[in-house]
Amino acid sequence: MKHPIVSVVIPAFNSARTLDQTIESVVTQTFRDLELLVVDDGSSDATLEIARGWQARDDRVQVLQHPGGQNRGVAESRNLALDHAVGDYIAFLDSDDIWLPQKLERQLAEFAKCPEHVGVVFSNAWNSQTAPGQSFSNDARSLPAGSSQLGALFPGEPGSTAEHLLFSPATEFHNWVMSPTPLVRAIHFRDGLRFIGPPRLNTQFEDYLMWLTLSMRCEFVAIPEPLAVYRIHESQFVSRYCRQSRCLDYLRATHELLEILQQECRAEVERRHLSGRIRDRFNSVLRRLIVDYSRSTQTIRSVPLRDFPGVLNLAARTGCLLATAKALCVRMIYETCDYLRNNRITRTFTRAFRNICIEQL
């Protein structure tokens, strides 16, 4: 096989219900000069057989495994594929998502218009509630909230990418790069840059960490139109994490991610004077999530009283113990007022009680 333009990376673990659709969306791309690296991550279902079936039918498909057929996790699986990739561009796709037919063609056309300092072109993506094993055709799809801003947020201008990945929106840390969409110049992986997973990064936010790391090396351009379909289902990591995790888990995971980012990109963080801004940004998000408990319908954002000691411990590590303690007091005042109101205490008394307490802080 001749040297391909694009290397496509798909890590797959027990993905038998979705992998066939995912691979088909790659091999039927209008841009055909590609190689597809499917990494079986120690699956116990028919994942490996499905991948090998495609390999037998299409010589662009290669199937890789960890030594001894081990399960090594998504980060190590992507890294194994990166070690074998020979394309000029690297595209990432999870085994339960799909690409629209012109995805690669559109992105390569965009790259052709971009200066060399642009190293990543990504796109919008549809969210789909289609269950694993079901066809994507005629399903209900929606665009993620805020995705209409992508083109304006990521125009490829020098310094713009890290700014928006780290500091937009104001309310939380947000991964704007949906996992099935990025296309990256392979040169950025030639010096050994790889995904970081356990034991250093203990949550599967390795993709967000990678995009943040790349934003210290190059700029991103976003295509506002959806070129992929991101499947939302009960068994995926993000869905499980949002159901099972508490706000303290989210804050600890975010803090860990930012610490690793600053260790890996120390020189660039110092050059851009980002260290203090990142710390202040984290502390601001921490305090906001404590006080804004009206968002408790999103389980990951709620801070139950039992987690207050853990939050204070985290605040002490980031140098905002006093401000966080005040935020926790405000939160308890709000909850006390809600209790009084729900127990038919007059609204005037409740408001006065809240205002007096907050003024004392």
**Whether pLDDT at 20 is above 70:** yes
Q: Half-sphere exposure of 38 toward its Cβ, with a 13 Å CA cutoff?
A: 32
**Whether pLDDT at 356 is above 70:** no
Helices (H), 216-346: 237-244, 247-264, 266-271, 275-291, 308-317, 321-342
Q: What is the 3-state secondary structure (H, E, C) of 163-217?
A: HHHHHCCCCCCCCCCCCCCCEEEHHHHCCCCCCCCCCCCCCCCHHHHHHHHHHCC
Instruction: Please answer whether residues 249 and 243 qualify as being in contact, where contact means their C-beta atoms are separated by less than 8 angstroms.
Output: no
In angstroms, the CA 329 to CA 129 distance is 40
Give the per-residue pLDDT at 234: 55
Instruction: Please answer whether residues 120 and 184 qualify as being in contact, where contact means their C-beta atoms are separated by less than 8 angstroms.
Output: yes
pLDDT band at 147 (very low <50, low <70, confident <90, very high): confident
User: Omega into 182 within 30° of 0, i.e. cis?
Assistant: no
* Crossing angle for the helix pair 321-342 and 308-317, to the nearest 10 degrees: 160
Spell out the domain ranges in the chain.
Answer: 6-243, 245-360
**Whether pLDDT at 360 is above 90:** no
Provide the mean pLDDT of the chain: 87
Q: φ and ψ at 141, to 5 degrees?
A: -125, 155
**Locus of tokens 């992507």:** 78
In angstroms, the CA 102 to CA 2 distance is 22
Give the per-residue pLDDT at 297: 42
> Mean per-residue pLDDT for 334-342?
70
Give the per-residue pLDDT at 41: 97
- For 171-227, how does the pLDDT look when each residue is reduced to its tens digit (9 = 90+)? 788 899 999 999 999 999 999 999 999 999 987 789 999 999 999 999 999 999 999
**Whether pLDDT at 260 is above 90:** yes
Q: Which of 75, 179, 182, 74 is nearest to 127 (CA)?
A: 179
Give the per-residue pLDDT at 308: 81
pLDDT band at 244 (very low <50, low <70, confident <90, very high): very low
Return the ∠ at Cα 178 (arms to 247 and 131), rounded to 5°. 85
In angstroms, the CA 229 to CA 329 distance is 43
Give the per-residue pLDDT at 298: 45
pTM, two decimal places: 0.86
pLDDT band at 247 (very low <50, low <70, confident <90, very high): confident
Give the per-residue pLDDT at 300: 47
> Mean per-residue pLDDT for 16-42?
97
Give the per-residue pLDDT at 288: 82
Residues 6+ apart with CB under 8 A from 174: 146, 168
**Whether pLDDT at 23 is above 80:** yes
- For 50-84, how does the pLDDT look when each residue is reduced to its tens digit (9 = 90+)? 999 999 999 999 999 999 999 999 999 999 999 99
Domain 6-243 indexed as CATH 3.30.70.890:
no
Instruction: Please answer whether residues 93 and 9 qualify as being in contact, where contact means their C-beta atoms are separated by less than 8 angstroms.
Output: yes
> Mean per-residue pLDDT for 89-105?
97
- The widest CA-to-CA distance across the chain, in whole angstroms, is 78
Q: Which residue has the higher pLDDT, 8 or 326?
A: 8
